[in-house]
Amino acid sequence: MKPKASLVLPVGAGFPKLPPVPHNAKATRRKSLIFAAVVTFVVLLASCPDIAQLHSFPFKLAPSRQIDFKSRCAQPDALFPTQDDVLDDAYARISTPAFRNASIRRLSGAVQVKTESFDDLGPIGEDPRWDVFYNFHDYLEKAFPLIHQHLLLEKVNTYGLLYTWKGSDDLLKPTLLMAHQDTVPVPPETVDAWTYPPWSGAYDGTHIWGRGASDDKNQLIAVMETIELLLEAGFKPRRTILLSFGFDEECSGTRGASSLAAFIKERYGREGIAVIVDEGSGFEQAWGTLFAKPGTAEKGYTDVHLTVRTPGGHSSVPSDHTSIGILSELITMIEAEQYPTRLVNENPYYTQLQCGAAYSPEFPHKLKKLLDRRSSTSAWHQKRWKAEQDFLAIEAAKQGPVIKYLMQTSQAVDVISGGIKVNALPERATAIVNHRINIGETTQVVKDRLTHLAGAVAKKYNLTLHAFDGKEEPSSIILSGSTYELEVAPVTPADASVKGPFSVLAGTVRALYGEDVIVTPGIMTGNTDTRYYWDLTKHIFRFAPGFDPEDEPGLGTIHTVNEKVSVRNHLNAVRWFTLFIRNMDEADI
């Protein structure tokens, strides 16, 4: 068989050489050039078949491969527990005026018990500010008598609460529900700015107001009301139910959650828990769709302390640059460039984008196009994406800083100090930079970058650099980490097409709120007490299951004046926990 003729161009040959043409034959020459260009392009196309889908190419040469995004964002059917007349009647009771009024009183009363936690709290047993939690424990005992009669209560490290409702089947791993008892403090100078006093627990007909109303006494009381309701109805769990309530989450949980987690691990072992639900993200309207976004990942955390030491002296004969000036220059360099926006496939926001592409009528066309190309399994495409900036992340970040920081390590200079007298040169200036680490990166990325920047400043001013080496001397720049540092959390499995805790959670959401709600894994930019529970299970969900369409978006008013929660939100949280506990009890997982 006669082989097909092929055109081979030597490297660097460019267009095929054209025969000479008369000077006045311009039209003929143009046609020849066009012909040569087409021939060359066909040769290039034959040698690189994937070029037709190159995302930066100026026009489309072949139909792009269509991605089935619904298969990447499976939605389970609404999941209801097996019919039981007594338990179903108990669930229906949540909607009655009597239960609503009692629930308002319970949550309002919980808010009225002041349980502030402070960063400078001393040791337990020595600092009397811890004693406020005794008052809260007394309140819970009065508000939920059946729980304290029938469940085992153990106090861990004095103020941590661990309730155990023993199940009948020891082969089933327990369900663990979490919340924290403490709140951030109310600065005295802000009290007058509150619509209702911050410890009043005031009810205005739709909302309960006060510090802790939504962070996190709402969730704690909802869990307790659920258990009390199930006890009243005579529920007998197969699966053990644990309630774990820390008391210093707002100052990193080092005494509360860390002690509780160690206690639980000692009893049930590594991977000894079926599922954990703690406070976290909730619901969001996006692209014309309502999403439930249980947090399946958390960004990492590190604080870096910057210190500049320079000689002191009288300010009437100053040095050209004081320690404050040098520190300011370093801070300016740090803020002049942000960390890159990157979206690795493990980041739950990548799945959220695919869910948007699958179910949202208003999902941006450009994002869907980039997502389609990003989702290609072509080896050539994957190499191309790795070699270039993450265009998908950059485009998605245009939705605003809340979205951007789901895909980017953040940096914030939050604390600065230096100088003690207006006529004395400052010998020491310090600043603290807070970082939340992006999925796919580590705390070392932060340390390397700051070491590089501080090195340039130290060289400029002839100072010694001590970067994370624990040393300090005069005329130097010192970088040091904080006592608390956290790498990025393990990512919880979140494929609803697979039978497991996520499909139970998602099915429960859709049972309560309807199947128009799309459940997608979420990511937490902050950290919860679950940071200490990673060894207990792979299935950790940071989720606020209460929802009211009239709620303020995002984090609402937590950590600021006029914190509040709607009663509708709170009662929906009770409904969700009631369904979830029963669904988990029936799940053989």
Render the burial of 535-554: b for 16+ CB within 10 Å, e for the rest. Answer: bbbbbbbbbbbbbbeebeee
**What is the Cα–Cα distance from 13 to 16, expressed in whole angstroms?**
7
C-alpha distance from residue 42 to each of 28, 32, 78, 271, 380 (Å)? 21, 15, 53, 58, 19
Which residues are CB-contacts of 45 (< 8 A; sequence separation ≥ 6)?
51, 52, 61
215 has binding-site annotation: yes
**In a 3-state reduction of DSSP, which class is residue 414?**
strand
559 has binding-site annotation: yes
What torsion, rounded to 10 degrees, do the Cα atoms 563, 567, 568, 570 define?
Answer: 80
Per-residue tens of pLDDT for the chain, all 589 residues: 444 433 333 333 333 343 444 444 445 555 555 555 544 444 444 444 333 333 333 334 333 456 789 999 999 999 999 999 999 999 999 999 999 999 999 999 999 999 999 989 999 999 999 999 999 999 999 999 999 999 999 999 999 999 999 999 999 999 999 999 999 999 999 999 999 999 999 999 999 999 999 999 999 999 999 999 999 999 999 999 999 999 999 998 999 999 999 999 999 999 999 999 999 999 999 999 999 999 999 999 999 999 999 999 999 999 999 999 999 999 999 999 999 999 999 999 999 999 999 999 999 999 999 998 887 655 666 666 554 558 899 999 999 999 999 999 999 999 999 999 999 999 999 999 999 999 999 999 999 999 999 999 999 999 999 999 999 999 999 999 988 899 999 999 999 999 999 999 999 999 999 999 999 999 998 899 999 999 999 999 999 999 998 877 655 677 889 999 999 999 999 999 999 999 999 999 9
User: What pLDDT is attached to residue 37?
Assistant: 54
Cβ neighbours, 10 Å, residue 228: 20
180 has binding-site annotation: yes
List the domains of the chain with CATH numbers: 95-297+492-586 (3.40.630.10), 299-486 (3.30.70.360)
Residues 327, 476 contacting (CB under 8 angstroms): no
Cβ neighbours, 10 Å, residue 54: 15
278 has binding-site annotation: yes
525: left (phi over 0), alpha (psi -120 to 50) or beta: alpha
Residues 165, 240 contacting (CB under 8 angstroms): yes
Burial of 57 (0-12, 13-18, 19+ CB in 10 A): exposed
Give the Cα-Cα-Cα angle 529, 532, 534 (nearest 5 degrees): 115
Strand order in the sheet with 295-298: 152-156, 160-165, 241-246, 175-180, 275-281, 540-543, 295-298, 522-524
Residues 146, 226 contacting (CB under 8 angstroms): no
Instruction: Name the active-site residue from 216, 248, 249, 585.
Output: 249
Give the Cα-Cα-Cα angle 47, 51, 56 (nearest 5 degrees): 150
Active-site residue, 50 included: no
In terms of Cα–Cα distance, which of 34, 254, 290, 295 is closest to 123?
A: 254
**What is the Cα–Cα distance from 411 to 390, expressed in whole angstroms?**
20
**What is the Cα–Cα distance from 502 to 13, expressed in whole angstroms?**
59
**Percent of the chain surpassing pLDDT 70:** 86
Burial of 9 (0-12, 13-18, 19+ CB in 10 A): middle
Q: Which residues pair with 178 in a beta bridge?
A: 244
Quick: pLDDT tens for 98-130.
999 999 999 999 999 999 999 899 999 999 999
Active-site residue, 228 included: no
**What is the residue whose two structure tokens read 């910057």?**
306
Q: Supply the pTM of this predicted model.
A: 0.85
In terms of Cα–Cα distance, which of 570, 577, 565, 584 is closest to 196?
A: 565
Q: What is the DSSP string of 505-554?
A: HHHHHHHHH-TTSEE--EEESS--GGGG-TTT-S-EEEE-----TTSPST
305 has binding-site annotation: no
Burial of 257 (0-12, 13-18, 19+ CB in 10 A): buried
**What is the residue whose two structure tokens read 């000479």?**
20
